[in-house]
Amino acid sequence: MNLDADVAVIGLGAWGSAALWQLAARGVSVLGVEQFQPGHALGSSHGATRMFRTACLEHTGLVPLAQRSLTLWRDLENAAGRPLFDPTGGLLIGPADGHIVSGTLKAARTHDIPVEVLDNTALAQRFPAHANLPADHVGVFEPTAGLLAAEDTVRAAVEVAQRHGARVYTGTRVTEIDLVADGVVVRTPARDLRVRQVVVTTGPWATKLAPGLPLDPVRMPMTWFRPTGDADPFALKNFPVFIRELGHTGAIWGHGWSSETHDVKLGLEDGGRDFRSIDPDHADHSVSPADWHKLTGLLEDAVPGLTTLPTSVTTCMVTRTPDKQFLLGRPQSDPRLVLGVGCGGHGFKHASGIGEALADIVLGRETHCPLTFTDPDRFR
């Protein structure tokens, strides 16, 4: 068939924009299709900031991917000509034998990541906003952790990809992916696009384009608060990115204010208990007290000194798999289709490395990091 490009990347969020950049930078004839605009606030890749860390407790195989991603984030910064990553350092806090601290230390030991363990007293002295901790809680400080600029990394990757020759269709909804004998027909209301291979990075919308995958899109609130008194303990330098285990009430995550973020960003780690499954085409983007009620009920004891009414609230969508790991690769070894879905709420930090991996898979190359644990056929 007459081709519009060799490859189409469908969905230009964090993963799709990175895949588009990596393919275009290698000289591949590639086009990208986005139903909204790059950096939009209707999917999974917005909210001003995203946490980055390398001592990944979610799976030991994620550590090399995070380390590779950090190198690639720096490459993207250089190519885009502007900063995208702020190395604030990061804290993982909880009981010494809890899953957050023990998982972080296991990842650090396995991969020789330099971290610093702080007991309760040292943690309170160095990071006073975390002073109100149970006596048995400790902190693990990772110097390489930090913050990524959420929307701007997406826009930067698309911009750099376009400079390398990628064509981008925005405001264009893909209604169907038709796998035909000699390639793929990507159907949109405006026209059909014909390519040899398609990369699906549509986040929660993957349930529409690749039905049958074990994907569960859920709605996740993100909230920002203002200090009630002295703001300095909550400045980013004193309140860097963190995840903090709270025992039977779950965990909270967040980071302090800066000249860019202004307020303190906080959220709940769900663990499958609080976020509700949604249809991405009918997601409720409005907010109500129910979106912050549980979190604010924890703040007085966990992080005193913040308003109980958030200054800002938004929602995003997280797409989970049964084992909370990604789906990356060719389902049933199909030479026409590559999947990059199932962010699990911890996928943004890895986006640059995942974009590279998806490009490697498209080109039939070995990925830079072993990714067998992300095999999309593992649930069959």
Q: In this predicted model, what pLDDT tens digit does every residue of 272-285 receive, in sequence order?
A: 567 889 999 999 99
Rounded Cα distance between 22 and 16, Å, is 10
Integer angstrom CA distances of residue 295 from 118, 130, 270, 322: 25, 16, 11, 25
Across the range 242-269, mean pLDDT stands at 90
pLDDT in the model for residue 129 = 96
Across the range 85-111, mean pLDDT stands at 96
Mean pLDDT of the residues in the chain:
95
CB 138 within 8 A of CB 88: no
Q: Averaging pLDDT over each range in 62-76, 251-265, 275-289, which range is the top one?
A: 62-76
Percentage of the residues of the chain whose pLDDT score is greater than 90:
92
Across the range 357-368, mean pLDDT stands at 98
pLDDT in the model for residue 271 = 55
Q: In this predicted model, what pLDDT tens digit does every residue of 195-207 receive, in sequence order?
A: 999 999 999 999 9
pLDDT in the model for residue 190 = 94
Max CA pair span of the chain: 68
> What 3-state class would DSSP assign to 139?
strand
pLDDT band at 295 (very low <50, low <70, confident <90, very high): very high
DSSP string, 58-69: S-TTHHHHHHHH
Q: In this predicted model, what pLDDT tens digit does every residue of 149-170 receive, in sequence order?
A: 999 999 999 999 999 999 999 9
pLDDT in the model for residue 247 = 75
